[in-house]
Chains A and B, each alone.
Chain A
Amino acid sequence: MDIVGANQGIIHKVCNIYCDDEEDRNDLFQEILAQLWKSYPSFRKESKFTTWMYRVALNTAITSFKKIRRQPGFNRLCDQNLQIADEMSSLEMDENIALLKQAVSKLSGIEKSIILLFLENKNYEEIAEITGITQNYVRVKMNRIKKKLKLLMTAED
């Protein structure tokens, strides 16, 4: 419990990138927490705890039933998405971050997980370990995401 509590920022970040409103975020947070709790005995310490935690959190977010039920399809942008009316707004995000968040919200579930890990300073090796795809294709996917984000951000601008 202590170790999860100490690293709960990871869960919040995953929830923030995958969920648009408070209720969804809380539901997902709870689900991830439960998965971590259930899976902890199988954590073999072969990888870093945070890597394992990211893996559980992202797997849960991508396969989350409730979220998809509310938002059919993974790519759909919620109308209320990342409205600057929640906690984030109080941080006075600069315009570029708001644009980035807006663009990220339009990415697919997998793309979101890769960009989140990239933005969290994870290298390709770690991203590959967490997502289970090869490093080479993390690189390929990352290039595609960068192009996509640039396009989206230009369009939003």
Chain B
Amino acid sequence: MELKDLKKAWIRVSDESSGKQQLNEEQIKAMLGTRTKSLLEKIERNIRTGFVVILVIIAAMLAVDYLTVAPSGMTSDGNKVPRWLFFLDLGLNLLIISLFVTFLFHYWKIRQQCKGVCDLRHTLTKTIGILTLYQRIFTFLLAIILLISATGFAAGYYTSIHNHNTSEGFFLSDLLIGILLLILISGLLFYLIRWVFRRVYGNYLRGLRDTFAELNEVEEGDD
């Protein structure tokens, strides 16, 4: 059977089939009412929620620092808090905020590439772009959180040694164990979260990239 004959048969079959599946207005409304969010809508929601949560945490931490520790400049055990610790804290918080601002800027730029209903190429570019950006911010944020833990550990250890004048032997063994634990926990956490992300979005992103490559291969073909 030639393709043109198949075409006729296809139209008959698919028309009959879709005719059977017709929904009335009420059913369509009900479907719209119960729909779940699309992937990009979920990503947008996650970003908004994440941004608000991080801002609240940063604000709370700053409030605690400046309202309780900063006025006296002393820790709970009566030792002086080094000034560089405040700057370190502030720097890391600014790093998180600037990461989000950068992300929002790039996100907005990707969204601006094509408004409304785009063709397939632009839809793919937009979806791949947003997902890649989401993956990057996720990794950066994770790296910053691990950096915060590391600096927190280092700062705490330094001030403890500085204020209590401990012996060198105690200092070295504790420091080594602390560093090893930190590396282990950070590494595990980093790979675990990255693995989860890849498991959830990895195949999807790969599929989109393959489709995009296929689209380009068509455009670059020379048959």
Contacts and interface: CB of A to CB of B under 8 A. Distances in A.
A85 interface: no
Contacts of B6: 96-97, 100, 119
Contacts of A73: 203, 206-207, 210
A72 B206 CA distance: 9
Interface residues of B, number: 53
Given A42-B116, A110-B214, A133-B218, A88 B17 contact: yes
Nearest to A119: B10
A1 B1 CA distance: 39
Interface string B198-223: 00000110111011001100110101
Contacts of B219: 133-134, 137
Contacts of A140: 218, 221, 223
Contacts of B39: 65
B18 A146 contact: no
Interface string A71-101: 0111000000000000110010110110010
B28 interface: yes
A23 interface: no
- Among A8, A39, A113, residue most surrounded by chain B Cβ atoms (within 10 Å): A8
B3 interface: yes
A141 B102 CA distance: 40
Contacts of A9: 15, 18-19, 22
Contacts of A55: 117, 119-120
Interface stretch (B30-38, B46-54, B167-175, B181-189): B30-38
A69 interface: yes
A97 B124 CA distance: 31
A80 B173 CA distance: 61
Interface string A124-137: 00000011111001
Contact of B35 (A12, A31, A62): A31
A48 to B, nearest CB: 13
B74 to A, nearest CB: 53
A65 B11 CA distance: 28
B164 interface: no
B9 A97 contact: yes
B23 interface: yes
Contacts of B115: 42
A63 to B, nearest CB: 5
B14 A13 contact: yes
B29 interface: yes
Contact of A96 (B1, B25, B122, B207): B1
Enumerate the 3 nearest inter-chain pairs by beta-carbon distance, A residue then B residue, closest first.
Answer: A132-B119, A42-B116, A12-B18
Given A55-B119, A62-B124, A137-B218, 10 more contacts: A1-B28, A4-B28, A12-B17, A39-B116, A43-B117, A59-B120, A65-B204, A91-B16, A108-B210, A118-B7
30 contacts: A5-B24, A8-B22, A9-B15, A12-B22, A13-B14, A13-B18, A31-B35, A34-B38, A39-B117, A42-B115, A42-B117, A62-B123, A62-B124, A63-B124, A72-B206, A74-B211, A88-B17, A91-B16, A91-B17, A96-B5, A97-B13, A100-B10, A109-B207, A110-B215, A110-B218, A119-B6, A132-B122, A137-B218, A146-B3, A149-B3
Interface of A: 1-2, 4-5, 8-9, 12-13, 16, 29-31, 33-35, 37, 39, 42-44, 52, 55-56, 58-59, 62-63, 65, 68-69, 72-74, 87-88, 91, 93-94, 96-97, 100, 108-110, 113, 118-121, 130-134, 137, 140-141, 143-144, 146, 149
